[in-house]
Amino acid sequence: MNEKELLKLLQFSNPKELWIVTYNNLLKILFCPFEVLVLTDVGTLKKGQVVWVDRIKITQELKTVYIINGQAYYYHYFDFIVEDK
């Protein structure tokens, strides 16, 4: 993806919200900050730790990145903590 295509895509994204589909197939929006569970040790984060996502970004390769305590981490190191309502 070139820079122009990425800029076009980013005009429709918001670094403070993320749409997810829950385990029971409900569409839900998460607003930053939201909690996630660390699935494996990564950077200074430890498996089983619960941390807050401050912002959501995407890379030029369209991979989702969470900004946590000023550091960027790929989304696949985390699982959502979603309350049923």
Is residue 85 one of the residues assigned to a domain?
no
Is residue 34 one of the residues assigned to a domain?
yes
pLDDT: which is higher, 30 or 82: 30
As a whole number of angstroms, the distance between CA 27 and CA 46 comes to 29
As a whole number of angstroms, the distance between CA 82 and CA 27 comes to 11
Note down the domain range covering 76: 3-80
Residues 16-30 have pLDDT tens digits of: 999 888 888 989 999
How many domains does the chain contain in total?
1
Tell me if the pTM is above 0.85: no
Mean pLDDT to the nearest integer, 14-43? 92
Q: Is the pLDDT of residue 69 over 60?
A: yes
